Amino acid sequence: MIGVMDELPFDGVLCDFDGVVHLWEPDGMTALDRAWGLLEGTLANAAFEHELLHSAVTGRLSDEQWRSRVAEDLTPVCGSSERAGELVAAWGALTGRVDGEVVELLRAVRRSVPVVLVSNATTRLESYLDAVGLAGAFDAVVNTARIGVAKPDPRVFEMAAERVGVDAKRCLFVDDTFGNVTAAESAGLTGLHYRDIDQLRYAVMPLLDRASETRISHSLVR
């Protein structure tokens, strides 16, 4: 349970990307299935097959190699490699929606403690962050494809905290995947299973209060 404390409760915030800061349209991939005359779930099942996806988010495959493998796997149901390639290209062109309220909240948190983006992502993450205007929105970015291990591996949390010079056990970890949150808690972090911004706002309220106090004291000094 996270409660408001008199002293600063966290030295850093580690935050997931998809499902917290960034949201995909829930029917984007199924719409492509329908457009290609495939059963709903066909594209997702190929793209997110466990072993293939794990290779992509731990960097054993680049984003391009991952998508190429997905196209190969879809060739039989699409009828040709060309048609499968077009489907994967259409999928790659999809963009999600940045939750501006969450970004603003995290920006306010950064006035008090560092915020690290921690994402099970492919090698495309950095260019995607730039494309959606988030390249400078965090104090550090930990892309699991760059470090060779993925959440819920506890080494991810340690590496993320090290990027900003804080103790992982003094961090709040925010993720919409329950298994990642429980793994973080087992590693000694404070976990928040993200569902809505009000829940996040309450969790970081002591950090916002400290940031406000700091701004007030600075204005008095001037």
| Domain coordinates in residue numbering, the chain | 12-24+97-221, 28-92
pTM: 0.90
Res. 63: pLDDT tops 50: yes
Which stretch of DSSP H or E encloses residue 173? Answer: strand 171-175
Provide mean pLDDT across the span 46-74: 98
Q: Are 137 and 27 in contact (CB under 8 A)?
A: no
Give me the pLDDT at residue 211, please.
54
Residue 219 has pLDDT above 60, yes or no: no
- Residue 124: is its pLDDT beyond 70? yes
Residue 209 has pLDDT above 90, yes or no: no
The verdict on domain 12-24+97-221 having CATH code 3.40.50.1000 is yes
Q: Are 145 and 177 in contact (CB under 8 A)?
A: no
Confidence of residue 220 (pLDDT cuts 50, 70, 90): very low
Q: State the Cα–Cα distance between residues 71 and 188, nearest whole angstrom.
A: 41
Do residues 150 and 58 lie in contact, with contact meaning Cβ atoms separated by under 8 Å?
A: yes
DSSP, collapsed to helix, strand or coil, labels residue 141 as: strand
